Amino acid sequence: MDATLSGRQAGPDLIAAHKPTGRVSDPVFVGILWASGILVLLLLGLIIAMLFEGGLPALREFGISFVWSTTWNPVTEVFGAGVMVFGTLFSAVIAVIIALPLSFGIAFFLTEIAPGPLRRPIGVAIQLLAAIPSIIYGMWGFFIVVPLMAAYVQPPLIDWLGPLPVIGALFQGPPLGAGMLTAGLIMAIMILPFITAMFVEVLESVPPMIKESAYGVGATTYEVYRNVSVPYGRTAMVGAVMLGLGRALGETMAVTFVIGNATRMSASLFAPGATIASTIANEFPEASTGSLKLQALLELGFILFVISFIVLALSRLLVRSRLKG
């Protein structure tokens, strides 16, 4: 009887003992969460403000034409971002075009065809590609890929495809090795693990019952992949591609080694060029404090941020449209 009474009394006592702690800890926890969210917005806002304020004098000096002007001459202090914007978009698109079919093929192989003992080693090997520093990719590209491109890849492409109308402009010029195609190839290898990993997760999330139903009506492995697996996860796949594109847009060190770093615009895949990130990496150490060159470089950084933001916004619009569809 006494034990029952003491137990009944202990319950309210425990609740009363915990109430003050909950009243204190819950607001503190909520406050920490709010502070974390606001901190992210604050850091983002400070970065944007720094880039915009630092590059504003260059924008005032050259006007809005700074964005598309193709002149970059530190000697005469005439600067324009057109070549770098073109190089950033061109090389990133090349990287996605190369990486996308490879990612589809690897993901399809790992989820549908590869024997069990091979799936884990290949998957780990692909993940290890993401752990390699970008400067290592750049050095490998400079010492291995560039000579191979100049000796064995670019010369036959120039001879075979260069004389063709329309597309021939993409395959003209001397076989220098370094250039847009080489930069796109290196970036494709770098973004391959990110896109492939998401593709594999998406394909593995397809309910087995749906695939078995397709097999039951006579569909082949390829038909199941094309008509069942890919449509089921297309929304996430679009997000994966945009993630890879965003990763390629901001790549710096690897591109700097292999793109040629020439502030000239050309339609040829073999021509040397420059990206916003590579130009900042090359020119920033030589830009003195308060100089117009430094201000132009900060404006380049702001433009790169705007491009990345536009890519993110487009990816969200694509995902939303596909979800509604």
Query: How far apart, in Å, are the Cα atoms of 106 and each of 47, 113, 201, 247?
Result: 38, 10, 12, 20
Give me the pLDDT at residue 236, please: 83
Give me the pLDDT at residue 14, please: 47
Tell me what percent of the residues of the chain surpass a pLDDT of 90. Answer: 57
Residue 227 in this model has a pLDDT that exceeds 50: yes
d(CA 100, CA 105): 9
Q: 247's torsion region: left (phi>0), alpha (psi -120 to 50) or beta?
A: alpha
Residue 158 in this model has a pLDDT that exceeds 90: yes
In the structure, what pLDDT confidence band is assigned to residue 1 with cuts at 50, 70 and 90? very low
What does the angle CA 140 – CA 248 – CA 222 come to, to the nearest 5 degrees?
A: 95
Give me the pLDDT at residue 235, please: 81
Q: What average pLDDT is seen over the chain?
A: 88
pLDDT, mean of residues 76-102? 95
- E strands, 98-175, in order: none
Residue 325 in this model has a pLDDT that exceeds 80: no
DSSP letter assigned to residue 264: -
pTM flag (> 0.95): no
Query: Which residue do the tokens 């403000």 mark?
Result: 49
Q: How far is CA 194 from the centre of its chain?
A: 9
d(CA 148, CA 152): 6
- E strands, 2-95, in order: 72-73, 78-79
Q: How are the residues of the chain apportioned to helix, strand and coil, as percentages rounded to the nearest 5?
A: 80, 0, 20
